[in-house]
Every structure is written in structure tokens, then in C-alpha cells.
Amino acid sequence: MKLKLIFFLAISGLLFSSCKPKYDYSFRDPSLSFEERADNLVSLMTLDEKISQLNYQSAAIDRLGVPAYNWWNECLHGVARAGEATVFPQAIGMAATWDRDMMAKISNVISDEARAKHAEFVSRDKRGIYQGLTFWSPNINIFRDPRWGRGMETYGEDPYLTGEMAVQFIKGLQGNDPKYLKVVATSKHYAVHSGPEPLRHSFNAEVSVRDLRDTYLPAFRKTVTDANVYSVMCAYNRFEGKPCCGSSELENSILRDEFGFDGYVVSDCGAISDFYKEGGHNVAGTREEAAAMAFINGTDLNCGKTSQYLKGAFEQGLITEQEIDISVKRLVLARLKLGMFDPQEDVPFANIPYSVVCSENNHNAAVEAAKKSIVLLKNDGNALPLSKNLKRIAVIGPNADDIETLLGNYNGTPRHPLTPLQGIVNKAGNNTHVIYAPGCRLAENIPLFDLVKSNYLFTDKDLSTHGLNARFYDNQEFEGDPVISRIDSSVDYFWWDRDKYEGLVNDDFSAEWTGYIVPPVSGKYAIGCEAKTCELFLDGESLATMKNIHEYKKKYSFVELEAGKPYEIKLKTYDFHGDAKCTLLWDIPGRNLEAQAVKAANEADQVIMFMGLSPRLEGEEMKVEVEGFSGGDRMMLGLPDIQENLIRTIAATGKPVVLVLLNGSALAINWENENLPAIVESWYPGEAAGPAIADVLFGDYNPAGRLPVTFYKSVDDIPPFKDYDMKGRTYRYFEKEPLFPFGYGLSYTTFSYAMPKAEKSTYSAGEPVKVSVNVTNTGNVDGEEVVQLYVSYRDSKITRPKEDLRGFKRVMIKAGETKNISFELQSSDLEYYNEDSGSYEVEKCSYVLNVGPSSNPDDLKGVEIKID
């Protein structure tokens, strides 16, 4: 009997094992832990293969069946640089919603589209830049100074608001599956990074321990502890004399050991080469030294080319293979957790259909987000909302009908963007005449482009046929016979009109337009193209060459042209990573834009002005030859002079004026605030700018956005840009009167606050603190209120901010209704960093819990508690 049992068990085991799937290598076995699988894959690699994985363009390892992978992707406010995608408000606008649920909704849409796009790319064996699942977003640097050009990418000036919004964004990106990551999010730029842009490759940020721990690190800490962010990007600058991407204190001691981060660190692009190259940090003598310094001190992935010198560093004894293995394993783990080596039916996010991209539901989410981001700054005499019975409306301003201004930077390309002008026209309907006049350029030396229309274009020198000769090739070299030959009335080409381009393969075609252009007047023209890749020639001379694979840009030159004279023109472009576009643009000289705007205002019952800034003026390391701007940063806080002059001229007509701002940073609009009845802040509002702004202006949506930054009156009110000390900066340390305070925003209704009440007057350290307040809608319109809780420190023994945001809730309150709003503060909300003990602690002292609609002390009501 015993022998029969043994025989039966043996046969059963044999049969059972024969049913198990066979794997060539253990790293492909989904039944094993990710750690076991990563160890196996790393053990199979040669040193050269390991080093090849440490670059953002990780090479294929064909013998192991490991495909190539490009780690660089972006999704700051929508999947970026990979063609069409739903585009939400720029990050600063998303922060202005002060709405955690909205943030989670936004990031879930983004990660859906990201997964769908990735699946589509892989199905066509596309594994290039902007086609993967590892996204270098969000930017959680503190917007400490309004001059910083990249501040628009952040969630504002406050560490708490930044951390709360980032946590929701990251959770929506990475998903909630217990096994797999939906995509990888990246908290950047770590750490103490916020300009100036022209100095970022050599700058040493010097800060006190108090500012480091109270201002610059809290959001990074929170994204690790509360959102389990799986990637962190180290910054360009130095911190305490060491490059951030080569700082063991930042990357190992603080990030990994203290915060508990268990993902991988990626360098900002080119940051490691800054260690040694001229004009950089000058901390390494060779490329090999730089590579070893970065990877030994905690960087795992190189965006750049320096990682290739790790082989030389190994041979010189600067780094060991075991140290290299640490980074390789971290990267392998990320790919495993994304399900890249598993059967796709086992990965819950792998089958999201491409139809979600730019879907109606996602566009509606963009509309909702844009409406929630809009901040009503001024509304004297109930100038807003506007009547829907207006007969003639003048829409004036360079930002009224400019798609680029809707999108900010690090953006995708929306399928159907709607400008403010389009929104006003659609809202006004047939009974209202809308008169449009741009009024002025954004700033001096910034062209106001129009599409070159067919009546100025001709196929040949006899000028008999309007348009340009268009030829499309099924390769990127313009070789062979064209697949499509035709006449285009203008160059306004979009790849997603796919039915017009049969026979072309995405990512592998080129196009050229040839013919003649005849200017209508003599003078100095700006002529250019908008594309990722383009070459423009006029009479055989190059006017513009654009080879920017990252995003669509306008490239142009100024040229003197004679009226009526034909000039030979050629424009070439080729596709790069999908959904390409190319447009031929010019700015015709001699137009009296101001006179046109004055005429429009005089003919109208109501004027709406769309002014502000543009991603052509503020942004990342830009060449901007405009007074008041430098390298992407701003040197002044007001509007460009040409815009301020136009606003005053239009206001002098006596017609009622509403000012709508589109911008990514705070503006010192002092004259406008004193002289105009209504001002609306709409940021860079994304694809749905038109309907969102129109709904607010005409009262179909009651605005409730709040400022995530302080609006100062003058650049003279704040410390020098290069000074990273927080004294005198942001609402937490600013001692003067702001133009508009942090957290500020009006509504079409009014709210009143009762005195807040704490659950008790004394708490033990570490015990949750509970406070509540009754808020009443005292107006006649339903509306949302952003109830804000600030903590101040009555008898603290250390240097603390004047007040700290430590809670907020965006709540709908109907007209006449009272709601009780409660907050519960955890020890992490009250603690500070004790330099003596080297740990975070709750100080035993008195605290005042202030509740109200903004950070303005006059708006707050407080209750005092004690912690002992």
C-alpha cells in the first residue's frame, strides 16, 4: 500500500509539473517574486549589458529576449510629446483648483491615455522616446520666486499644497493594483531647485537646514511616504557644494534611508555631464569620474551620455560591478512591476483601448478642470457675470485666439483645442456680434503670427494657380517618387487627418511644399514654421531650421520683403514619433493693431481683453530677446509694456472692460486692479480654455479657484532671485502687503465663517488635533468655497513661518445653506525638524488654528490650542 501511494504521488507530481508553463529564464516566471526575477535577470547580464541598461535609451539584449526601452516620457498635464492627447490646465492651474478629487481624476485620465498609447506603440514595435511607461512628472519644486520661468510647471509656493496635490497626481498615475504599476511617476527636481534658468548647470543652492526641511523637502518626503512614488529625478544644481545627482546625502541618506524611498533615481538630462564640462560644476576631471560619482552616490539612470563611461570607470577602479548591479536591479524591478515581461492578459492596465485617447469623456474632464482652475481676482459692482443679452462684444488681446498660450509647456497636442475667442463666439450665439482684434503683440520682438493664406501663395512663378506644390514621401529622406502629390492651399498640416494621407506610415514619412510667396505690403516680415522638425528656405536661403523632437515650436526669421514681388519658397518636414504637424506662418508688417482694437471697443457694448504671458516668454532655458525676460525667466513682474499700454488705451474708451489673464506666474497688475472692474486669472488653461472661460464670464459656472502663489506688487518687494533663503518670500515669510494673497479667490456668491472650534484645548504630542467651523453661503447663488486651515505658532522656540497651510477642503454650499467643515491634523502636520536630534518632532507649545477663505490674516478666524 505504501509503495502504491509513493507511486501515485510521484505520478501526480510528474503530471502537475508537466502542466506548469516552461520558462527559458526565471525572470520570465510570473509566479516568482519581482525581487527573485530581478536578481535572475541581472545575474544573466554581462558587464557591458548592465551598463547599456543605465542610459535612458536602454539597449535591447537580444540573447535574453529583453527589448530596447526608452525611459524618457512626459505627462505634466496630459501625455506629452507623443502626438494627440487630452491637455489639461498647466500644473499651476491644476493647483489653483485646490481640489484633490479633481487632481485624481486628471491623473487617472492621463494614465489611461498613457497605457493606451504605449500598447499601440508596442503593437507596432515602437519603443522610442515618449513611447514608454515611465513618466518624468510631476514637478514638485517650490515656486519660491515669481521670476522663475518653470514655475508654471509646479503646484505653487506652498509645501503642503504641493505635497497634497502631488500625492493625488502620483496615485492616479501609478494606479492601485496590488501587484503592477499602471505607469511610473517621477517627483522632480530633487532638490532645492527653482532657477535662475541660465545658471542651473553651475549654480550652488545654499540654504539653511530650517529652509531645507521646512520648505524644500516636505513635498518630496510626502510623495514617498504617502504616494510611494517610484522614481525621483535629481536636479541640475549643486546642493552644499555637491551636484544633486552626485550627492549621497540627498539621494541615499535623506531620500532612501530617512524617507524610505525604494524606487530608482534618474538624472535630469545632461546633469551628470555638468560634473565635468566647461561652464558646469567643475567637480570631476573626466567623464569616467563623473559617471562613477553619480552612480556610487545614488543615481541609477542617466538621461544623457555619461553612463557609457562606466566601463572605463570600472577599468580604472573608480566603481565596482557590484555597485553597478545596484542600479541595474532597481531599473529591472521597475520594468517588471510595469508588467513588461509578463503575459499582457495578466496585467490589468495592458488592454485599455486606444479609443480613450482624446475621448469625449476625457475632453469633458479637461473642461471641468479648466473651470475649477479659474480664479476671480476682482469683481467690483458685480461686473461679472456678463449678460447674455449683449448685442456686440469686443474680444481683444494677443492671447484671445492663440492655441500655443493654452498649452503651456511639456504638453501634448489636443485634437480639438478651443481658444477663448472660440468660446465667446460659441457662448454668445447668433444674437450677439463678436468683434475680434488682437490689439498688440505679446511683447516687442515677439511676432503675432497668422497662417499664410492661399491668396499669397502660388505654385509657380507665373502666379496663375494659388497654393503650394505638396509632396509626401514614405521615408524621412525625401527620396524616390512621392506617395502623394497635390496642391495645398496653405501649409496647415495635421497628421491626425489620416484619411487625407493614405499610403503614409506614421513615424516614417516626410513632406515638402514648394512654390512662391507674394507679400501684400513692403516691410520687415517675420516668416517661419511651427513644427518639431522643419526647414524653411526663401529664394534658396535658409530662414528657419527646427530639429526639436521634444515639442512643437515656432522658428522664424525677420526679412525685408517687397510688395508684389514673388519669392521662391520651400518648406520641408519629417515625422518624428507620431501625429506630426507643420504650419507656415508670418507676421505682416504695418498693421495698426491698436487702432483696430480701439475701433472694435468703440463699436461694442462690452470689452473682454485676453492678456498675459506665453510659453514663448517664460519657460525652460529659453532664448528670449525681450526686455524684462532672460533665459526663460522674468526680470519684472508686470505685463510687457506693449500690453499695459493697450489696456490703458482701451479702458480710456469708457467701455466696460473685463480683463482675463493667461499666464503661468504671478503678475503685478497694479494699475489694472485699481482701474478695471473685473479681473479673471485663467493660467494656461489647456484644450478646453474656450468653453471654461466663457462659462465663468457668462455665469454658467461660479468660479472657486484659489491662488497657489502670492501676487506681489513689485519685484522690489522680494529678495534677489539667486537668494534661496525663504525670508521675505511667499505668504509664509512675506512681511509686506501683497497685491493678492496666497489662497485668494472670489465667487459670485458670499460666504461667512463662524469661529472655529477645537475638540479640546490641550493635546498630547502625537495625538490627532480636531477642529471644525461652520461656513454659510450668505448670497443668492450656489457655489463652492475653499475652506483653508492655517497654523501659526504662538510661543515656538525655533524660527517658524508666520503661518502654514495645513488643511483645505473645496465644498459646494447652496445659497442660504450652512455646512460644518472639519479637519483632523496628524502629528506630521505639526512637526518640525529638530536639528539637535536629527528627527522630526512635534514641538510642545501653543498653536493657533486659523480658518478662512485665504491666507490674508484679516480673512482668518482662529482658536488656540496647546500641545504638551
Residues 474 and 562 in one domain: yes
pLDDT band at 548 (very low <50, low <70, confident <90, very high): confident
Residue 481: inside a domain: yes
What is the Cα–Cα distance from 113 to 407, expressed in whole angstroms?
18
What is the Cα–Cα distance from 445 to 556, expressed in whole angstroms?
12
Residues 531 and 612 in one domain: no
What is the Cα–Cα distance from 257 to 254, expressed in whole angstroms?
6
What is the Cα–Cα distance from 337 to 182, expressed in whole angstroms?
9
Please confirm whether the linkage preceding 708 is cis (ω < 30° from 0). Answer: no
Residue 546: inside a domain: yes
pLDDT band at 579 (very low <50, low <70, confident <90, very high): low
Residue 858: inside a domain: yes
The per-residue pLDDT for 171 is: 98
- What are the residues facing 357 on neighbouring strands? none
Cβ-contact 38, 331 below 8 angstroms: no
The CATH number that applies at residue 482 is 2.60.120.380
Cβ-contact 170, 107 below 8 angstroms: yes
Q: Which of 112, 488, 618, 785 is catalytic?
A: 618
The CATH number that applies at residue 768 is 2.60.40.10
Residue 131: inside a domain: no
pLDDT band at 14 (very low <50, low <70, confident <90, very high): very low
- What mean pLDDT do residues 797-805 have? 95
The per-residue pLDDT for 148 is: 98
- What mean pLDDT do residues 26-44 have? 98
Furthest CA-CA distance within the chain = 108
Task: Tell me if residue 214 is catalytic.
Answer: no
Residues 725 and 645 in one domain: yes
* 159 alpha-carbon distance from chain centroid: 17
Q: With 0-12 CB in 10 A as exposed, 13-18 as middle and 19+ as buried, what is 3?
A: exposed
Q: With 0-12 CB in 10 A as exposed, 13-18 as middle and 19+ as buried, what is 598?
A: buried
The per-residue pLDDT for 83 is: 86
**pLDDT tens across 707-758, in order?**
999 999 999 999 999 999 999 999 999 999 999 999 999 999 999 999 999 9
- Tally the C-alpha atoms within 13 A of residue 333's C-alpha that lie toward its C-beta: 18
Residue 355: inside a domain: no
Residues 756 and 656 in one domain: no
Cβ-contact 746, 379 below 8 angstroms: yes
Residues 713 and 814 in one domain: no
Q: Which of 29, 84, 112, 268 is catalytic?
A: 268
Residues 785 and 805 in one domain: yes
Residue 766: inside a domain: yes
Residues 408 and 275 in one domain: no
Helix, strand or coil, per DSSP, at residue 632:
coil
pLDDT band at 502 (very low <50, low <70, confident <90, very high): confident
State the pTM of this model: 0.96
Is pLDDT at 81 greater than 70 in this prediction?
Answer: yes
Which residue pairs from 460-465 have beta carbons closer than 8 angstroms and sit at least 24 positions apart in sequence?
460/515, 460/516, 461/516, 461/566, 461/568, 463/516, 463/518, 463/566
Residue 383: inside a domain: yes
The per-residue pLDDT for 647 is: 98
The CATH number that applies at residue 690 is 3.40.50.1700
The per-residue pLDDT for 7 is: 47
Is pLDDT at 236 greater than 50 in this prediction?
Answer: yes
**pLDDT tens across 134-164, in order?**
999 999 999 999 999 999 999 999 999 999 9
Residue 743: inside a domain: no
Task: Tell me if residue 268 is catalytic.
Answer: yes
Residues 721 and 828 in one domain: no
DSSP string, 24-63: SSGGG-TTS-HHHHHHHHHHH--HHHHHHTSBSEEPPBGG
Query: Where a domain ends, among 547, 574, 601?
Result: 574
Residues 466 and 409 in one domain: no
**pLDDT tens across 452-471, in order?**
999 999 999 999 999 999 99
What is the Cα–Cα distance from 305 to 272, expressed in whole angstroms?
9
Residues 395 and 528 in one domain: no
Q: Give, in order, the Cα–Cα distances in Å from 630 to each of 149, 213, 281.
A: 9, 30, 21
Residues 601 and 631 in one domain: yes
Residues 534 and 461 in one domain: yes
Domain that holds residue 412: 364-446+592-733
The CATH number that applies at residue 40 is 3.20.20.300
Domain tally, the chain: 4
**pLDDT tens across 285-328, in order?**
999 999 999 999 999 999 999 999 999 999 999 999 999 999 99
Helices marked H in 400-459: 403-407, 420-428
